[in-house]
C-alpha cells in the first residue's frame, strides 16, 4: 500500500511542522499531495522537499473541494499552472467534473493533448463502467468517492465491484483512491495508492499517530 498525505486550506503549515518534527513519521515512505484549489506558496517548498527526498508527489485538481466551495476551475488555467510546475509532480490529476463523466473524459483528453504523460483520469461512484473501461490503458486511474463517506457500505461495495471489473482487463494500471480514510479499507485492496485527506490526519500530534497507522 502506498499512502499520500494531502494538505488542506492554507498550506497545512502546523501539520507539516508536526511531520518534520517527528522522526518516526518523517521516515515513513509517504507521498505528498497538494491541491490546486488550496495551493499556497509554501507548497512549492514542500514539493521540492519531497522531490529531494525521493517522495512521490501528486497535484490534485481539487475538483470536489471546488464544488463544495462554489468555485469554478478553468481547465486552461489549471493546465497552465501544472505545466509551469511540471518538475514538481510525478502525477497530475486531470480536472474531473463531478456528476459529469463525459466532462471529466473531455478534460482528461485536453490534458493529454497539452502533452501531459502523467495525467491521471478519475472514475467516480455511480458512473457507467464504460468510462472506466476507456481508462484501462492509462498508467494510473483515480477512484473518486468524495461526498459518499456517510454511505460506507455502498461505497465499499462499489470499490469491490470496481476492482473486480478491472481484474478482467488484460493490463492492470496503477490505481489511486481519493478521500479514503479507513486503514481497513485500504488494506482490502493491496498495491493501491491512497490519499489520506487533510481532515482525516491533520489533528496536531494525533495526526502523526494516524499516519503511522496508515504507514
Which domain, by its residues, includes 108? Answer: 2-214
Query: Which set of grid coordinates corresponds to residue 113?
Result: 493533448
Which H/E stretch holds residue 57? strand 57-60
**Could you give the number of structural domains in the chain?**
1
pTM: 0.86
DSSP letters spanning 140-206: EEEEE-TT-TT-HHHHHHHHHHHHHHHHTSSS--EEEEES---HHHHHHSTT-EEEE-HHHH-BTHH
Provide the CATH number for the domain around residue 58: 3.20.20.60
pLDDT of residue 211: 46
Q: How far apart are the first and last CA of the chain?
A: 8
Question: CB of 35 within 8 A of CB of 60?
Answer: yes
Q: At what angle do helices 41-52 and 13-21 cross, to 10 degrees?
A: 20
Phi-psi region of 179 (alpha: psi -120 to 50; beta: other; left: phi over 0): left
pLDDT per residue of the chain (215 residues) written in tens, 0 to 9? 578 877 655 445 566 666 667 777 677 778 888 899 989 888 888 889 889 888 899 999 999 889 989 999 999 999 999 999 999 999 999 999 999 999 999 999 999 999 999 999 999 998 999 999 999 999 999 999 865 444 567 888 999 999 999 999 999 999 998 877 677 777 888 778 887 655 455 444 344 444 444 44
Q: What angle do CA 152, 99, 183 make, to 5 degrees?
A: 30
Amino acid at each position: 500500500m502506498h499512502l499520500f498525505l494531502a494538505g488542506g486550506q492554507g498550506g497545512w503549515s502546523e501539520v507539516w511542522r508536526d511531520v518534520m518534527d517527528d522522526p518516526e513519521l518523517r521516515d515513513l515512505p509517504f507521498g505528498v499531495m497538494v491541491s490546486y484549489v488550496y495551493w499556497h506558496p509554501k507548497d512549492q517548498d514542500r514539493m521540492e522537499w519531497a522531490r529531494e527526498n525521493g517522495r512521490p508527489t501528486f497535484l490534485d485538481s481539487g475538483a470536489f473541494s471546488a464544488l463544495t466551495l462554489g468555485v469554478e476551475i478553468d481547465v486552461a488555467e489549471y493546465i497552465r499552472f501544472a505545466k509551469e510546475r511540471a518538475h514538481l509532480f510525478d502525477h497530475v490529476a486531470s480536472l474531473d467534473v463531478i456528476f459529469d463523466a463525459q466532462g471529466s473524459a473531455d478534460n482528461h483528453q485536453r490534458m493529454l493533448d497539452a502533452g501531459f504523460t502523467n495525467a491521471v483520469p478519475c472514475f467516480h461512484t455511480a458512473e457507467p463502467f464504460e468510462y472506466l473501461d476507456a481508462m484501462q490503458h492509462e498508467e494510473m486511474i483515480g477512484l473518486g468517492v468524495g461526498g459518499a463517506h456517510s454511505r460506507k457500505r455502498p461505497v465499499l461495495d462499489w470499490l469491490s465491484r470496481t476492482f473486480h471489473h478491472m481484474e478482467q482487463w488484460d493490463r492492470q494500471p496503477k490505481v489511486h483512491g481519493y478521500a479514503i480514510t479507513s486503514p481497513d479499507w485500504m488494506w482490502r485492496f493491496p498495491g493501491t495508492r491512497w490519499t489520506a485527506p487533510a481532515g482525516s490526519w491533520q489533528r496536531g500530534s494525533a495526526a502523526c499517530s494516524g499516519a503511522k497507522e496508515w504507514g
